[in-house]
Amino acid sequence: MATAAAPWLELPALFEKPGTMNGSFNESFEALVFFPRDHPVSPTQSRAPLDDFGFFNYGIFHIMRPNRPITLLLVFLSCAVGALLRTVLRETKVPILVIIFFIGLGIGILAHFTHQLPFVKQISGIDPVLFLHLFTPVIIFTAAFEMDFYIFRKSFWQVLVLAVPGFLMNCGFLGWLTFKINKYNWSWDDSMLFGIILSTTDPVLSVASVRNIGLSKIVTNLIKGESLFNDATTVIIFELYRDLINQSHHEVVKEIFIQLMLKFFASIAFGFLSSKLVSYWLAHIFNDGIIEVVLSFSMAYIIFFLAEWFGMSGVIALCMLGLLLDSVSFSPGMDVFLYKFWAMLTFLAHIMIYLIMGIVIAQKTFPYINTRAFFSIITVYLSLNLVRALVILTLSPFLSRLGYGFNWRWGAVVVWSGMRGTFTLNMALAISQTQSSTAAELQVKTMILLHCGTASLLTLIINSTTVKKLVMTLGLCNITLPKRMAMHNAVQRIRQMEANAFSMLKLDRFLADANWAMAEDSMTIDYPYKLDAEEIRHLSKSLKCPDCDADITFERSPQQIADIMEEARLRLLTAQIASYQKQYNSGMLNQEAAQTLIGAAESYVDIEGKFMNIHEVKTYWESKGMLVTMKKWLSDWVYNVKDEITKPPKNKFLRMCHQIVFMEEFEYISTLITYLNSVPIILNFISSVNEEYLPQLRMCNYYFLCLYIGEAILKAFAMGRTYIYYHWNQFDLIIIVVGIIDVMIINLFKNMTPSYPMINTIRIFRFGRLLRVFRLFKLMLPTLIFVLDKQINKQLTFRYDIAKGYVQGEEDIKCLIEQIAGHEKVYMEITKILETNKQEAMKELGLMQRDYPEIVTAVKTRQAVQTVLNTASETLKFMISGGIVDKNEGAELHKMILVKKKQLAKLPPTIAPPTAQQLLHNVMWLQDNKNQIEYIQKKAKILYYDYGDIICEEGELPQGIHLIVSGMIKLSGSSPPRYGVDKDFMKEAVNRHTAASSYTDYMVTGAIIGELNCLTKQEMEYAVSCETAVQTCFISIDDLLEAFDRFLEPPSLEYKIWLKIALDIALKTYKENLPNQDWTYKMCAQYSNMYVIDVLNHTKCDIYDEAMDDVILVHGTVQDCQLGQRYCAPCILPKTCHQVQGTSPATKLLIIRSMEARKNTGTCFNVCQYHSDRRCATLGQLFSLESRNRSSIPNDLDYTYMSSQSPRKN
């Protein structure tokens, strides 16, 4: 078979003269100028004189100097024209590529009538191999990279049916139809090649028209997947068929088999290995986006070139590379830039493809265009669509039983979206560029080029502009009522924000004289969907009762509720994916876990009514069992895994044997003997050496066998009866038995006449000597076990990361349910489902912490460091953007933070879990306070509970607090925590979105139970039971109250516990009420400016004066003194509320100080009458200054100590 030359050796072909396939590069380059040196000058045209600089000189004017690369100029001009057309025609349905094609066609036709465009003839002779290698990698990698791998995995068999049997049927039908109806007298081979060329579709153009119109991802991935693998099949079949008809092959079956092995299986393996190499390389590039983009670009071309060079399919190799890489394979935040980069390359590639093909078709087919050709063009276009529809109809029974199923509407879209593009044009170009022996053969090749080019053009003009209308007509992207409701709500919210913005801007002194009427008119946002009166009535979710101003909710039909539920499910899946992406960008999820969670969420998109749950996510990590079993099996074979040094015998001789066997030198000598024995064993299998040195090799065999027997006897004397119980000793005995039988057979058959069975028996036992070499694996087993340990730890870390990321995702989307759900029943159902899924995931996390505490501790340590470094990065960004830190200084600090992030990979995979004493030091309200920790340690008790034990019952008085040292406990209550709100008021105040019948939660190591109940002396609101064996550090309530009385110096121990609880409640409240903001960072930024105040029952307190930014009610209830509005914890008090009155026995407010208050030296503001005399400690002083010597604190430092020190009621 003919092999194509390396692409880089054929670069001059781009500039070859028409009709030739070789030539000098210098000659070709000179042909690009306006006046080449060898260009003949007509009698009426004389060459202008050259000046001293080599320019053409006409009088005083200088014309362009020769040897300018006009082709390069044309490339950039075409890119500029493409950009201009994209700008002008963005809102129209006119395909840009059609205009580019006609521009190329015009240039090519113009070149027929003038000699001033010689570069056109050079472009028309472009080498098809160069054309393939220049544009194909961009098209294929972009399409594969944008594929949804998890949807593709499920629909793989559908894609395969369409891409292989479907393609072959397409080829056969088109080839037969062409052979029967064409008027050009084409042969059967020409017709079949024409059918193969027209059966392929473009993976990018086919999807471009249906990308963002609301069509199901399953259909778009099916279209793209079919086109990708269709292209791969096309290249294989086209090259194979062309070679078979052009060359004589005596072994056709063998040739086909070799080609399939190389083009299919070898290409898949090469693409898979390449993806692993690229992923490994990307994993070792830390936060350098330029390198990552350059790597993706260069590796796409390199892998394609190498695959084609070695006879494989570059298309299949690139498909595997693109499918196995995704945006998460790159650094966080790179996804948007990466997609835009490849989209830009794809756009430019298509611009160049259609410009070149316009020129080529105009140059080569212009003399053959006539009325008959136009009729044939229309016939070909109709035939290829009719045949494609017939093939899809034939395969639909099979497609409907595979993957996601199939229906006739999907089939219509698949048929009509099949655009002919890059591969059709490239193969037609390859046919036209081959040399022709006769004029008839040249005409056939030219007409194939003409019909393929025009077929591609017509699919762009007709199919791509009407496929959207087809999708709409078939109802595949109907705008359902839930979608209209969501859009209605979104527009209403935007309008509300606009109104608020206008109101605030009117207060701006610089904008006071703006034309607000014109501004409001210009900013009015209309509904994207046209609504009739009935739809508007349905969109109105509630009305106001004229009597009581209460909401009256419309009743929905069951079908409407089901539709609303499905739309809410899809939006929640989108929110989950966004949460996983956010966790990956922040470093809380590793790459593999993020890819798994994102892919799993995407796979649920088209499964109606299905929510993502932890039980199905678990299937992604359950392969660990095999590695654990393998490790256990190998561990049994390792000597040093068990304590093999048995008690030395009393007998003097046996004791001496024991000492010898268990010396390290004995093992070294045994290993050396095995190494030496491997040499004669290998020589035995070399025929020439075996015949020449047979006696010597036989003696070596006897010698080493005796050494093995001696070693076994020594071990037997040393270990006694336990000798036989160890695997390696059993293996040594097998070696000895096989060796003895080998020697006996050789000596027995030595004097007999050789026969075939005798020779086979000798050979079998000779192979038995290879068993001795396996003794060397004894040294390798510890290394293998170490590698297995690392892999198991990696899988367990991956397992914990997935479960933790899933729980965080559920918490993130929980805050969005109210905005997404369009009906009360939908809200309640989704809340119930998400809460159940979250609790199951929490339980899974607890079980992992119980089973693998070292790994979980390592993961938590890494995540803690990552969170702190993220906070440092955000702080640095804020200081740079505000001009506090110079950009150069900021760059240096950023490098230091990046170094620390990079060092996270060096943290050990396992860390010993903390002890009870270490956990006490980590308790926030102790904060390494030596005196308080020593007191708690003296009073604390370590308690042990078994699985199922009840630590406390719901409704009983608190006995103390429990710090969980190990294990997992379950909290279960009849209602959610009340946070000090009276039960009767709770029932009245709770709205429909917080109604819940029960409360369940799980807690693991480091969590504390009963803090709030001990502070308020209220009964337990939940029962606490053990889900595993549990160990807790228990501090009784009497000892805790005694500690409160003992440690009264500001900030007191009681105040610090209140502050810790307040911070936890405030963070949850912020996330629930304002989920779109990063409150973790904001809380860290305000960390040193928060304090807790008491509001006694029936006592008034001023809030939101110049000293406060935010006030959060964290416990109890208050009433607005002005409006009479009552608020219950937890909630953020509105800034219109300036004075509140406590209405519960224990009311706590968390105050966040304003900037003006921070500039003050510490003067205490009059927050309320009760606290006017008191001083409070800020949080930074609270947890950083306490461990210092009191004498080192400045005298003028005021503590903002707001904790009430009223006498405690007994």
Among 340-344, 784-788, 887-891, 1087-1091, the range of highest mean pLDDT: 340-344
pLDDT of residue 31: 39
pTM of the model: 0.71
Average pLDDT over residues 403-416: 87
Reported as a pLDDT band with limits 50, 70 and 90, residue 479 is low
pLDDT higher than threshold 70 for residue 499: yes
Q: For residue 1135, give Cα distances in angstroms to 50, 663, 1108.
A: 83, 80, 10
Average pLDDT over residues 1-8: 38
pLDDT of residue 250: 59
More confident residue, 1128 or 763: 1128
Share of the chain above pLDDT 90, in %: 3
| Model confidence pLDDT, tens digit, residues 1091-1114 | 888 888 888 888 887 778 888 898
Among 237-246, 320-329, 644-653, the range of highest mean pLDDT: 320-329
| Listed residue (454, 639, 565, 1048) closest to 822, CA to CA | 565
Query: Is residue 330 classed exposed, middle or buried when 0-12, 13-18 and 19+ CB atoms within 10 A define those classes?
Result: buried
pLDDT of residue 390: 92
Reported as a pLDDT band with limits 50, 70 and 90, residue 1034 is very high
| Model confidence pLDDT, tens digit, residues 849-907 | 888 888 888 888 888 888 888 888 888 888 888 788 888 888 888 888 888 888 887 88
Average pLDDT over residues 154-174: 88
pLDDT higher than threshold 70 for residue 1083: no
Q: Let me know the angle formed at the C-alpha of 490 by 484 and 493, rounded to the nearest 5 degrees.
A: 140
Average pLDDT over residues 416-442: 84
pLDDT higher than threshold 70 for residue 27: no
Average pLDDT over residues 627-645: 60
pLDDT of residue 588: 79
pLDDT of residue 1187: 39
Overall size of the chain counted in residues: 1210
Share of the chain above pLDDT 70, in %: 80
CA distance 246 to 979: 85
Reported as a pLDDT band with limits 50, 70 and 90, residue 448 is confident
| Model confidence pLDDT, tens digit, residues 584-595 | 877 778 778 888
The 3-state DSSP class for residue 690 equals helix
Structural contact between residues 195 and 263, judged by C-beta atoms closer than 8 angstroms: no
Reported as a pLDDT band with limits 50, 70 and 90, residue 643 is very low
| Model confidence pLDDT, tens digit, residues 240-297 | 787 777 665 556 677 777 777 888 888 888 999 998 898 888 877 877 778 888 888 9
Among 111-125, 708-722, 1048-1062, the range of highest mean pLDDT: 1048-1062
Query: Is residue 979 classed exposed, middle or buried when 0-12, 13-18 and 19+ CB atoms within 10 A define those classes?
Result: buried
- How many other CB atoms are found less than 10 A from the CB of residue 306? 14
pLDDT higher than threshold 80 for residue 537: no
pLDDT higher than threshold 50 for residue 544: no
| Model confidence pLDDT, tens digit, residues 432-444 | 888 777 888 888 8
Q: What is the CA radius of gyration of the chain?
A: 40
CA distance 616 to 840: 12
| Listed residue (781, 772, 782) closest to 676, CA to CA | 772
Structural contact between residues 121 and 18, judged by C-beta atoms closer than 8 angstroms: yes
pLDDT higher than threshold 80 for residue 1154: no
| Model confidence pLDDT, tens digit, residues 53-72 | 444 444 444 445 556 678 88
Mean of all residue pLDDT scores within the chain: 77
Average pLDDT over residues 223-235: 86
The 3-state DSSP class for residue 951 equals strand
| DSSP code string of 1094-1108 | E--BT-EEE-SSTTE
pLDDT of residue 1193: 31
Average pLDDT over residues 510-522: 77
- How many other CB atoms are found less than 10 A from the CB of residue 850? 18
